Every structure is written in structure tokens, then in C-alpha cells.
Structure 1
Amino acid sequence: MSLNRHIVCLLILEVTFASGLLYVCLTSYPIVNHKIWKHKQALFNLAVKEENVSPKELRRETGQSCVFPVHSPSLVPCQQNNLSEKRRILKKSLPWLELEATLNASKTLLPGGYHQPLGCASPQRLAIIIPYRDREVNLKILLNNLHRVLQKQQAEYAIFVVEQENGTPFNRGLIKNIGYVEAKARCHFDCFTFQDVDLVPESERNTYWCGARALHHSRELDILKYRIFYKYHFGGVITLNETFFSTINGYSNLFFMWGGEDDDLFHRLLKKKLPYEFSRYPRYTAMTHKNDPHHTKEEMAVYGKSHLRYETDGLNSTGRLYRLISVDYKPLYTRIYVSVNQTEVLTQLKHYGINL
């Protein structure tokens, strides 16, 4: 360890370490006030520097697998108290600096949209994965609401906004798989929520939490007058643990535009006989936006052969379908910016007898 790192650790912990890992310096003292939180934020910036240090390099340097500091095991478990069944939806799209200020990001979040409850330890670390392109207003509104809900629920979480580069049709299933892969490359997460950018939870009791079943959060939407869309609808916002998601091989990578991949994922759960459930507080407000094109004929062609390819189309075929352009640890979220290899996706579709 360098002399500078010893000094940093001494200032925060007032103790030295023989083998001195930066990660130990970050995590060995419970976060009990904002002063310590700011020290951790400064150290995080020093360690990552907007991805100048890659996750692999950081792991080699620290011997750990998380670019975010982890809570001390000595902290007491967090309690979820006084959660409101109905909350007021904040629908105003604020400028980024104003949004960061109103969320008190400098005190409640580390770069990358990472939050730890103060003075207690959440038993799970949650990754929120948001597939995204060209919906800045929706994103601002969602972040303004979602950070508040998750912090009220005493969650330890990081928000990953996975943005697909323009020039190729949007592929939501592939983008969700990329989010899962890239989030895991930066930290161990116990729980993964796949969250549409235009859906805002109406209840704090709709907890983002991994239990013994896959959980569908957004079963009832205000734009549908809270009627169930259709019986086996399993899209919008869902939460799964790592075991479930890897068992079903994630989402299909072969659905362009919006729609289809959610139904495909639900049938993967059924195929693997994995249990699922619906939130007891399933109401969401849907934000307005320009409608994306649906290609029903093409979707059905891909969906119709789902049972033939779920073992080979998914997480295990994601790697060659995208290129990571950049990773930015912004105040409110981690931006994962990627390019999709449309040619390779179309080649895989042809392999399964589907020509689009």
C-alpha cells in the first residue's frame, strides 16, 4: 500500500493495516454520519475516476469484487417501518442539477446512484436495471420517485441505466441482459430489478426485494384504470434473484423494438418450473412518451420458437452481441452505454429459421 493510502485510512479509521486494501479502508468503519459518507465518496472518486480504472483492475488492486463500498457487518439489520400504501407521484421533470439537489444526492448517494442506509445494514444488495434510449424526461421523473421509495424501504442499491447507442433498433431484452452482466462485473448483487423507465410505483409498500419467488411488481397501471392487462402479463417491473435469472438464461436477445421479451421470459420461468408471485401493491403510474413501433408479425415469429432456443438464446449468448462504449458514475445512476451488433442478432435469428 502506498503512503498516501495509509494516510487516508488513518484519517478515517485511525488505524493502520499491514496488508492495507483500499476496500478495507472503505468498508471497515460503519457509516454513521454524513462526514464519513463524504470521505467514502471522495475515496470512491479516487479509486474509479469515471472508469479510468476498470472493474477488473480494481478487483486486482483490492482483492474484492465491488467498486462500491459495502456496509460494515457490525451494523444492526435495517427495519422497514412506516411505509405508506399510497404516495404522491412527483411528475415534474427537473434539470439535472436541481434534481440532484432535491434528492440531496451529495449526502444520500455515492457516484453511480449507490445508496446505503445510514446506521443499519440491509440483508440484500439490489441492482436496479433500466433499459433506456431517448426518454430523458421519463428518466428524470422515475429517478426522482424511485430513489425516494428505495431509501424509504431502507434498501442498499445501485441504479444502472443501460443506454443503447442510436443507429440500430432498440432491443430491450438484450439491453436488460447487458445490464445484468455489467452490474455483476462491478459488484456482487443479491437481487435484480428490471425497471421500465416510464413506470413509477404508487406505493412504498411495493418493496423491491428478492424472496423465494420471482416477483412482478407492475400488474396494474393507471392508464388501464388498474385493470390487469392480461392474465400472464409479466412485464414492466420484475425482480429476480441471481439464481433464478441464471437458471432461465435471462431474457431472449432476439426481440427488436418493444414487446415480446417479457412474455418470453415468463414462459422461461414456467419451463424451469420456478415459482412466481405478484406484488400486493401493484399499482404504477405510467409516464407519457412517444409510442415505440411494435412489429407484431415479427414478434410472434420470434416468440413462436421460444421453446426451441431458451437454452442457447440469452445470457450465454449475450457477450458477442454488444460492445461496451463507456461507463459513467453519475450522481444519480451508473450509465452503461453500449452498441448492439444488429448483424449478429439477425444471424442468430436466421439460425433458428426466422428471417426479419
Structure 2
Amino acid sequence: MSQALLPKEKTTYEEEESYISCSFRNTVLFAIVVLGRLLYLQAMSTSECSLSISLVAPAFGYESQEVAELATQKTQELEIPKPEEQKQDFCAPKGLVGALAIDFDMDKLEERLQELSENNKDFFENGEHTPENCQVQKLKNIAIIIPFRDMTKDLFRTKQLLYFLYYMVPILHRQNNHFSIYLVNQVHDDLPFNRAKLLNIGFEIAKKDGFDCFFFHDVDLVPESDQNIYECFDNPRHYSGYIDKYNYNLPYNTIFGGITAYSAEAFDKINGYSNEYWGWGGEDDDLERRTIAGAKYKLLRPEAGKSHYKMIKHSHETSNKPNPNRQKLLKAWNNHAKFDGLNSLNYELIERSNDLFFKNITVNLKYSERIPLEKLLEG
């Protein structure tokens, strides 16, 4: 394993571009060096074996056509159907345990990642989980899209991601759906973080990959029960209304941040998120306006008792400063919703790679090509 790049205090423009383009893979590798030996990455480097079983039927000679036809009938009755022919029943959850004891003890992280790898590595291929011997229903091909950037000194966001994987991978496996976790990582760390644009990019890529249900998911939220079923409906849903940080109460009735779930049709209908919320705040309320007031969907949430979330606590990052224009943009949401979103999405794909439990997408958001504020406000 090569030594991961370490942050530098000063670089030339060329060195900075080279460093930035190294993608989140190097960040994860550096985290591994810091946190210790993570067996889940070792699993990626091992060779994969495939087992195929072929049934060979010997040829026999028969004295009469009647006997031959009878033998053929019996052989057909005994034939074992191909795996794809066995997928008749719809996939259903297996082995749900209900309420989970969630904690984020960083001293146990290495041990728990070893456990994650040993128990789940065989269910994944190229960062994708596919149920066996069942048929996946429409709107249950799930892409979990996570916006990401780690500029913390102690790589705390990366540790959050690893704990997110530790809990979410087994939960989603027991729910027995086809799913993949997309980590959309923003480069150019000196620029404002754009959560919404990263989520739009993840949607566009995952949709091309064949997914039809999209969870826009913050990395610091983990469900407290595996009976909180991840699935999409025709109407979008806000999942994270009840978080321990707020004593499992809604901070305000129209809150729409944290985790939302959309079908492809619904997200296309609202033109996705706005791409122009640079910095912290406002993009989730803008999405709520587009969804409820604009597209006339209902504001729906799962049953409160089964949709509690625990937050991996953290202090506000100084690199993600509040957006000074967020209130102006939110007030004018209807002026820019039709031309600011999926239909104006522009970015540069720096790297795409598949890790064991997730797919990594590293992008340049092209900050210099953003829509002027005056046009957004005036429409």
C-alpha cells in the first residue's frame, strides 16, 4: 500500500491541482493508516472465486418411443431451473432485529470495521449489493447518495463515514434490497461546500446506473432500528424528522433536511436541488418548496416510532461557512427553480472508483461557472 498524500501548507498551482485530483480514495487510505489495519479493504484485494455447477445428462437408447417420451418427461420434471428462473418471489426483509444499540466509540472503530468486513464482504461486488434468489420490486433499487468532503484536522468526517458504513451496510443487507452507496466527494477544498449540487450529481450518475429510488443522505445520521425500511414511493418522503439531537421532535414542521427519498420521476419533476447554495444552509428548505409548493406533493414521513435517528455528533466545520445569500435565494425559490437544478448541472468528473462497500465519485463543481446571483433572484 502506497503512502497516502498528506495535506500541505503551501503548494504551487500545479502541485495543488495534482493533490486535489487524488480523490477521496487517498483520503480513505490515509484514514486507514491512522486508524489501523482495516480488513474490509484487504477483502477488496483478494481474488474472487466463482462456483458454477453444470448438470450433465447421459444419453440412453430406448426400445420404444413411448418409453423415450416418458423418460424425457421425468427428466424435465427433475431439471433444476437456472438461477434467474428461480427469482420468482419479491425480495423481503430477512432477520430484522428491531431496535439497535447505537454508539460511536472511536476506540472500537478498528475492531468494528474488521467485523463489518468479515460478516458482509461476500454480499458485495464493485460496491453494490444484490439480493439472491428473489425479484427486486420497482422503487426498491436504492441509491444512497452522500455528499462529502473532509477538511477536519483529525479526519473526523472520514471516521463518521466508516461508522456510517458499519451500521448501515448490515441494516440495508437485512432489508434485502438492491442497493449501492454513492459517496460524492468535492475537490477544490478552498471553495465553499455545495451539498445540493453534489446530491444532484449523485442522482444523475446513479440513475444512469439503473437505480430508481434515491436517498439523499447526510453521513452523520444512522437509523436506530432496522425496521425503518428504506424504500421509495411515488410521493417523496422526508425520513429524518426525529433525531436524538432534537429529542426526537421536529425542530419545525416543514423541516426537510438530513435524509429525503425520491423516485426518479419525482426528482426529475422538481428539477432536483438548486445548484447555487454555496456554503451551509438553505438548500434543504429550497427543496421542500420545490416539492410541496411547486410540484404539489404531500409532506410525508415514516411512522415516528420507527424512524428515529442518532446523529454522530460533531462541531460545525469552519470550512463550511454559512451561505450569506441563503435567505435571498430561498425567498426567490420560484424565480429560479425552472432553470437552476438538474437542467443546469455542470461539473467535471475527476475520478470514479468502486470500493468494497461504496462507489466513490470525485468531482470539480466548477465554481467559476455558477449562475449570477442577480439572475437567480430576478428569474
| One-letter code aligned to 1:77 | F
In structure 2, the residue matched to 1:178 is 201
In structure 2, the residue matched to 1:80 is 93
- For 2:173 and 2:277, the matched residues in 1 are separated by 34
Which of 221, 230, 253 is residue 199 of structure 1 equivalent to? 221
Which of 319, 328, 350 is residue 325 of structure 1 equivalent to? 350
Residues 28-177 of structure 1 correspond to what in structure 2 (within 5 A)? 30=83, 74-80=87-93, 83-93=96-106, 99=113, 101-103=115-117, 104-112=119-127, 114-123=128-137, 124-134=140-150, 135-165=157-187, 166-177=189-200
Which of 312, 315, 320 is residue 287 of structure 1 equivalent to? 312
- Return the offset for 1:81: 5.3
Count, aligned residues:
288
- For 1:73 and 1:334, the matched residues in 2 are separated by 29
Write out per-residue CA displacement over residues 185-213 of structure 1, whole angstroms, 9 at most, x where no aligned residue.
3x111200011000011111211101232
Write out per-residue CA displacement over residues 69-92 of structure 1, whole angstroms, 9 at most, x where no aligned residue.
xx7673421223553442121424
Check if 1:349 corresponds to 2:363: no
In structure 2, the residue matched to 1:305 is 332
- Return the offset for 1:182: 1.5
Residues 101 and 267 of structure 1, relative CA distance in 2, 3 Å threshold: same
- For 1:132 and 1:29, the matched residues in 2 are separated by 41
Contact kept? 1:173, 1:252, Cα under 8 Å: yes
Which of 341, 359, 362 is residue 337 of structure 1 equivalent to? 362
| One-letter code aligned to 2:278 | F
Check if 1:221 corresponds to 2:243: yes
- For 1:169 and 1:296, the matched residues in 2 are separated by 9
Write out per-residue CA displacement over residues 79-136 of structure 1, whole angstroms, 9 at most, x where no aligned residue.
2355344212142456679626524343121122x11223323212111100111110
- Return the offset for 1:155: 1.4
| One-letter code aligned to 1:143 | L
- For 1:11 and 1:144, the matched residues in 2 are separated by 28
Contact kept? 1:100, 1:331, Cα under 8 Å: no
SS at structure 1 position matched to 2:300: strand
Residues 211 and 73 of structure 1, relative CA distance in 2, 3 Å threshold: farther
In structure 2, the residue matched to 1:247 is 269
SS at structure 2 position matched to 1:275: coil
Question: Where do 5+ consecutive residues of structure 1 fail to align?
Answer: 1-9, 16-27, 31-70
- Return the offset for 1:167: 2.6
- For 2:365 and 2:194, the matched residues in 1 are separated by 8
- For 1:175 and 1:162, the matched residues in 2 are separated by 6
- For 1:306 and 1:86, the matched residues in 2 are separated by 39
- For 2:210 and 2:251, the matched residues in 1 are separated by 34
Write out per-residue CA displacement over residues 268-288 of structure 1, whole angstroms, 9 at most, x where no aligned residue.
112111233111122110112
Contact kept? 1:161, 1:336, Cα under 8 Å: yes
Contact kept? 2:109, 2:163, Cα under 8 Å: no
Check if 1:275 corresponds to 2:302: no
Q: Which shows bigger deviation, 73-82 or 152-161?
A: 73-82
- Return the offset for 1:13: 6.9
Residues 279 and 101 of structure 1, relative CA distance in 2, 3 Å threshold: same
Select the structure of larger CA radius of gyration: 2
- For 1:329 and 1:29, the matched residues in 2 are separated by 29
SS at structure 2 position matched to 1:121: coil
Q: Which shows bigger deviation, 285-294 or 93-102?
A: 93-102
Check if 1:237 corresponds to 2:259: yes
TM-score, scaled relative to structure 1: 0.75
- Return the offset for 1:259: 1.7
Write out per-residue CA displacement over residues 273-332 of structure 1, whole angstroms, 9 at most, x where no aligned residue.
1233111122110112231345364210211111101111000111x2x11100110011
Residues 138 and 29 of structure 1, relative CA distance in 2, 3 Å threshold: farther
Q: Percent identity?
A: 31
Question: Where do 5+ consecutive residues of structure 2 fail to align?
Answer: 1-49, 56-80, 151-156
SS at structure 2 position matched to 1:76: coil
